[in-house]
Amino acid sequence: PGDEVIISPLTDYGTVYGVLMHNYIPIFPDTAPGTVNFSAETIEPCITDRTRAILAVHKCGLPNDMDPINELAAKHGLIVYEDICQAIFSEYKGRVVGTLGTASAFSLDSEKTFSSDKGGCIATDDDELAEKVRFLSSGRAGVDVPHFGRTHTAFGHAYDMSRMTAALCLGQLETIRAQVDKIDRTVRLITEKLSSIDGITPLPIPDYVTKYSAWMSSFSIDPEAFKCTGEEFAAQVLEAGVNGAGQGKYYLMPAALPFLQEYVDANKYPFSRPPASHGYHYSSATCPTAWAFLENWIRTCSISEKWEDEHIEMIAALVAEVADRNRVG
């Protein structure tokens, strides 16, 4: 308790929840310019003598640049975990994300590419860690004592998924690779189409992304090119018929979790644990690059392997129509 875990600033509450539940302190670096992920360069200034781990979220399905992050972690003796809830079978330099750190977490939520009803799973090649996860997550840390019965030797849980949920997931293993291949092609095509619209910049796909299992497509607008705000532009794209279009300012965790700052101000546990390595502060001001990016960032919609080329052409045409209607001059 009181140790720090460095977490990608753009994510969902679920990423942070597990850290808080065990009384660790979340630290949010800024993002790298022009993207949704952090980088080794933005992480390093956040490392203190209390830092114990880095939790890399592959936001939107876009892999982080993991080699420099792992090198930085090794330099400081830190553990690296991955959140691949939006990036099932994305690949970084030919390696599947979720295999690039000590362990990784998957979501099987109904909204995800690999989905059931609820649930998730953990992947690791550390046998000792895997056994500990099984013990704590599904066995409630129960141990049978001779002549007594079951005792609970740690704060265990019962996170078992139902058999029906497991069956749904096992069935999808037969099709998920083909789905991801189609999604990779789709997101690269929509990126190409949106790139041709003046004032529109799709989320960049770095060369190290060899398979992009995109959970959503997105783009940024040039605020100097249009007479409307990013929020207004997104609303018009939604009204034009692109389902799910909108902004994602709520993904910025330092601003989306105001109770953290309340805990800091009240010196509540675990922020009261000595020695404090620095003054903690949680707001959009702590991640200025991420906040400026989100002001003009628009998610179009979740990517589906069912899209055909005509659907992509239609989305690009609707975005172009909104862009033309709002151009300056």
The answer to whether residue 20 scores a pLDDT higher than 70 is yes
Number of C-alpha atoms within 13 angstroms, CB side, residue 39? Answer: 11
Amino acid at 302: S
- Domains of the chain, by residue range, sit at 4-101+175-325
Q: Is the dihedral of CA 295, 297, 300, 306 positive or negative?
A: negative
pTM: 0.94
- Report whether 50 contacts 277 (CB < 8 A): yes
Whole-number pLDDT of residue 160? 82
| Distance, CA of 301 to CA of 309 (rounded, Å) | 15
| Distance, CA of 6 to CA of 328 (rounded, Å) | 41
pLDDT tens digit string along 63-110? 999 999 999 999 999 999 999 999 999 999 999 999 999 999 998 887
| Distance, CA of 35 to CA of 127 (rounded, Å) | 35
| Distance, CA of 173 to CA of 166 (rounded, Å) | 11
CATH code assigned to 4-101+175-325: 3.90.1150.10
The answer to whether residue 327 scores a pLDDT higher than 60 is yes
Contacts of 220 (CB under 8 A, 6+ apart): 34, 200, 201, 202, 203, 230, 293, 296, 297, 298
- Token digits for 195? 């790139």
Segment holding 127, helix H or strand E: helix 127-137
Mean pLDDT of 264-271: 90
Mean pLDDT of 119-127: 93
Top pLDDT among 310 and 278 is at 310
pLDDT tens digit string along 202-212? 999 999 999 99
Percent of the chain with pLDDT over 70: 99
| Distance, CA of 69 to CA of 205 (rounded, Å) | 18
Pairing of strands 4-7, 51-57: parallel
> CA–CA distance from 312 to each of 35, 123, 302, 304 (Å)?
22, 34, 12, 11
Is residue 206 reached through a cis peptide bond, with omega within 30 degrees of 0 on the bond before it? no
Local confidence band at 157 (pLDDT 50, 70, 90 cut-offs): confident
The answer to whether residue 274 scores a pLDDT higher than 80 is no
Segment holding 68, helix H or strand E: helix 66-76
**Strand, helix or coil at 260?**
helix
Segment holding 120, helix H or strand E: strand 120-124
Other beta carbons within 10 angstroms of residue 273's beta carbon come to: 13
Mean pLDDT of the chain: 94
Question: What's the count of helices (H) and strands (E) in the chain, helices before strands?
Answer: 11, 14
- Token digits for 230? 């990013």
